[in-house]
Every structure is written in C-alpha cells, then in structure tokens.
Amino acid sequence: MIWNEKVECMHRGAMQELQSRRLVELVRYVHERNPAYRQKLEAAGVAPARIKGIGDIGDLPFTVKYDMRDTYPFGLFSRPIKEVSEIHVSSGTSGTPTVVGYTKDDLKLWSDVMARALCCAGAEPGDMIHIMYGYGLFTGGLGLHYGALEMGLTIIPASAGQTKRQLQLMADFKPRLVACTPSYILFMAEEAREMGLDPRAASYEIGVFGAEPWSEAMRREIESAWDMVATDIYGLSEIIGPGVAQECGHKNGLHIFSDVFYPEIIDPETGAPVPEGKDGELVITTLTKQAIPLLRYRTRDIVSITYEKCACGRTSPRISKIKGRTDDMIIVRGINVFPSQIEHVLLGIEGTQPHYQLVVDRKPGGLDELEVLIEVEERLFSDEIKKLKELEAKIGREIVSTLGVQAKVRLVEPKTIERSMGKAKRVIDKRAM
C-alpha cells in the first residue's frame, strides 16, 4: 500500500515542475516575511525574481545551524508567533538549543509525511503502534503520534522509559508496530529476557527505528532478537522532525519525501554538488513549510543518494543510511572515526554486546588516546582472566584494521554503560571539556 501514490510515484519531469513552482513561491515568501532571510538573499545578490525553477537552487545561500542559534529564539520564523500552533526544541550537541515551530498547516504537513512514512514501513490502517520515542519537546513522540493518527492506527502513546511497564503493555495489547530508538529496542530485548519473556515470541512485526545512527549489523541483531522487520526512519527537528525519509520493506535506502523536502548532496568542504551514489552532506530545502521554512539547510549528515525507481513502485529519491555526521565524527590522531564503525566491528565478534562508549582524551604529551568501553556477556567474567584478555586483544586488532587507529579496549560487565531512554551517548570527548 502507498499512502500518497500520486506524488510518491510521480514521473520525474512532473515532480520537477511541482518542485520548481514550490521553490519560486518559497523564495518570494521568505524574502517578503523574514528579515534575516531577506538580508541573507541580498548579501548573496539573489533577487527572488532570479529563481525561476528548481534548477536555480544552487544560486541560493545555505542555511546552517548557527543561523538558527544566532536568531534564537524566533528570528528565523516567517510567521508571527501568534500563528504558530506548536513549538519544539532540539537539545543540540552544544550551546543554545534550537527552537522550531509549526503552524496548523505545518502540523498537517507533518501528519501527512509521517503517515506516508508509517505506510512505507508497512503499517496498515487499523494496526496498533507502540510509540516509545519521547513525547514533549523532542519531535520523536508527537511526530510518530500525528502520523499514526492520520493513518488510522491505534496508538499506545507510551513515551520513553519505564521498560518493565513497556514490556507489560506490549504483552497485554500486542501491538504490530513499535517505534523507538534502535539502541532502546535492543535494551528492551535484554530486559524482556530477564523478565522471562521471549522477545521472538512478542507481537511486534515492524519496527520504525531512528533518531540515532545504526548499522546494517545492528539491524540484523534487532531483527533476530525480536523476529521482526526493522526499518529506518530519518528526520531532524529543523526540517520537521521524523518524517523526512523512511525505508520501505525492501530496506534499500530511505525514500525522501522530495515533493516537500528537496534534497541535495554536497561536498562539505567546498559546497559543490557531488554525483549520484557518492557520499556527501545532505542539504534540504523545505518547499512548503510556513512557520520556519528553510533554504538549503545543511544537515551535517553524511549520505549518498539514488534517483532510481525502487522495487516498491515509489519514484522518490532514496538516501543511504546515515553514514556519520560532519561534526560528531571524532578525529583521533588525525584519523576520522565514526562510532558506527566501532559498532560494526563489535557485532562481528562473539560474546560482545552492542553497548559501547568511546572515550577520547589527550595524554600529557599531547597525543590523543581512544578508549573503547564494551559490554560483554556475563559468562565471560566467570571464565578465566586469560580469556578476557584474549578477547580484548582481538577487538583491539579488529579496531586497528578497520579504523586504522589504536584503541585501548576495556571490557565491562553488562549494564555498566549508562543506558539512555533516548539517544545513546556513544562518545565522550574529554579533549573538548
């Protein structure tokens, strides 16, 4: 089933016409209504009349996170606050939080794209969904909620946390869908087993997981722990929240809803477009939003894109899983390290759990040191110390060969690393503190 077949299967030429009309209107709209954007466009020497279609998008200036922070709280809003129905706040990695707002029409748009996403994941009207993304200022809970409402699903608005209670709700109500972060669903599997429940026998058939990076290996782990299909959902508060892109059952890239969120992939160093299939930074223009429309917003997320039609019938472009960020990437002794690479190493090693943390520190001599804390199965601690040491050495070797960087590996008992009900905290960079 395809929720909005007309746009999701639209011929490329017709889609470009639609995007062109929307872009022309958008540039006129922000120029007229938002002083910060007017200034930005003038500084770039772009009069709205110069933008005649989607092919001219490269003439427009980029918008970056700092543009939002510098105008905190409402400076990038294109509507008076009285016309804004809902506000969300993203914690951000450091400094001032980012505030985003939605008019009534924006909330309708959010419901629409989220309904498209849930349907793309495999939901059918009448299904029950267990939503365990946080409700509140974070966009995860309410975003999923609005889409589920639009689609006619039965919602369990559980929000995050209280794992035992979540498992009880799951066992009693038997939802077909579950939505939460991928790290949390793995944590839940452990808790389920401790409570004597078999996760493979649970009612979940489809998972809608996102808000943090996760690898193909982690997908396999989740799918085998729960005997379900695990799909990836992507989004960010600045654009709308969840509902920017979603995998279908083919799990072959995330369909980006490009009739409303126009994607470009650029070289993060030069800003130049990169060819189809090559990695680069995802840049998104919100074509129809009212409260905070954004021109060419730099997400800092690294992906590649394909414009080939998917086997599911949708013609929308597909982005790869998020391969990292241009900013939470850590550089250890000159080498770029993404936490997801460590995860990949661990999932290939027997006895380890996908719960890990990277701690980067600077030694007195100025050299950076990477320490990787990894949880291992309880039974390994009852074995002789020699076995643990061997495992540590093995992981160390794998890390060097995959990442090209030496790491001090420390194996710890299950549940030593602090669990997060939201996004897992994978990196502690003591150099920056």
Which residues here bind ligand DLL, judged by CB under 6 A?
90, 133, 139-140, 210-213, 232-237, 241-242, 299, 301, 322, 325
Q: Which helix (H) or strand (E) holds 343?
A: helix 339-347
Pairing of β 324-325 and β 261-266: unpaired
Minimum distance between the CB of residue 345 and ligand DLL, rounded to whole angstroms? Answer: 18
Please report, as a single letter, which amino acid is at residue 49: A
In the bound state with ligand DLL, the residue whose beta carbon lies nearer, of 236 and 403, is 236
Comparing every residue's Cβ against ligand DLL, the nearest one is 210
* CA dist list (Å): 412 to 155, 230, 357: 38, 28, 11
In the bound state with ligand DLL, the residue whose beta carbon lies nearer, of 175 and 422, is 422
In the bound state with ligand DLL, the residue whose beta carbon lies nearer, of 57 and 211, is 211
End-to-end Cα spacing for the chain: 50
Q: Which of 244, 219, 242, 283 is nearest to 60 (CA)?
A: 283
Minimum distance between the CB of residue 338 and ligand DLL, rounded to whole angstroms? Answer: 11
Minimum distance between the CB of residue 210 and ligand DLL, rounded to whole angstroms? Answer: 3
Cβ within 8 Å of residue 113, ≥6 positions away: 147, 240, 243, 244, 257, 260, 261
359's tokens:
């701690």
105's tokens:
């029409």
Q: What is the 3-class SS of 233-244, one letter each residue?
A: EEEECCCCEEEE
Minimum distance between the CB of residue 285 and ligand DLL, rounded to whole angstroms? Answer: 16
Minimum distance between the CB of residue 17 and ligand DLL, rounded to whole angstroms? Answer: 29
Q: Which of 279, 415, 272 is nearest to 336 (CA)?
A: 279
In the bound state with ligand DLL, the residue whose beta carbon lies nearer, of 238 and 398, is 238
In the bound state with ligand DLL, the residue whose beta carbon lies nearer, of 140 and 207, is 140
In the bound state with ligand DLL, the residue whose beta carbon lies nearer, of 179 and 374, is 179
In the bound state with ligand DLL, the residue whose beta carbon lies nearer, of 322 and 372, is 322
Q: How far apart are CA 269 and CA 125, in angstroms?
A: 45
Q: Which of 149, 143, 183, 185 is nearest to 166 (CA)?
A: 185
Minimum distance between the CB of residue 134 and ligand DLL, rounded to whole angstroms? Answer: 9
Minimum distance between the CB of residue 232 and ligand DLL, rounded to whole angstroms? Answer: 5
- If one counts every other C-beta atom within 10 angstroms of the C-beta of residue 277, the result is 12
